[in-house]
Amino acid sequence: MSQDLLQRGKAIKLAVFDVDGVLTDGRLYFLEDGSEFKTFNTLDGQGIKMLMNSGVTTAIISGRKTPVVERRAKNLGIPHLYQGREDKLVVLDGLLAELGLSYEQVAYLGDDLPDLPVIRRVALGMAVANAAPFVRQHAHGVTQARGGEGAAREFCELIMQAQGTLDAANANYL
């Protein structure tokens, strides 16, 4: 893990996640009745819970809107959920105003072009291993894991390691 990424992670108060391709593997599953389902990684979910337990607020900003994402956010206790929003920087501006935070206190994990404006603006903008090449090129860092396969967990642990809270966030689970 680079010293630059650890330095960027020290002041993070808000971690924001995209969904498709980040918290999932990016595939969309449609059933004949028109309903949709997604698969989520339990390691990622545990990482998000640990990050919140360490004192970092979390949010999801997704371009798509599905009930399953709302259910996942509720199950994990993610307090800020925005779906059906391609204008992610505009959404983040509103959330920062609501929380009284600045871009220097935000980390973001994304995978595709709609994520790029946020990735380039925040203190710690990262891409998953299988993100679009242009996005990986402009991110501060790239996870070793692919989206939906532990990338969010890696991102969460990086922030906790930077802040010296990784062990403390785990304490309830040991």
Instruction: Enumerate the known binding-site residues for substrate.
Output: 20
Tokens representing 46 are: 């545990």
* Residue set of the binding site for Mg(2+): 18, 111
- Residue 129 has which token pair? 């291993």
Kind and range of the H or E run holding 155:
helix 151-163
Distance (Å, whole) CA 95 – CA 16: 11
Query: What DSSP state is assigned to residue 82?
Result: E
| Annotation: binding site | 18, 20, 111
Angular region, 81: left φ>0, alpha ψ -120 to 50, beta rest: beta
Q: Which of 23, 27, 56 is nearest to 42 (CA)?
A: 23
- Joined together, the tokens standing for residue 115 give 């994520």
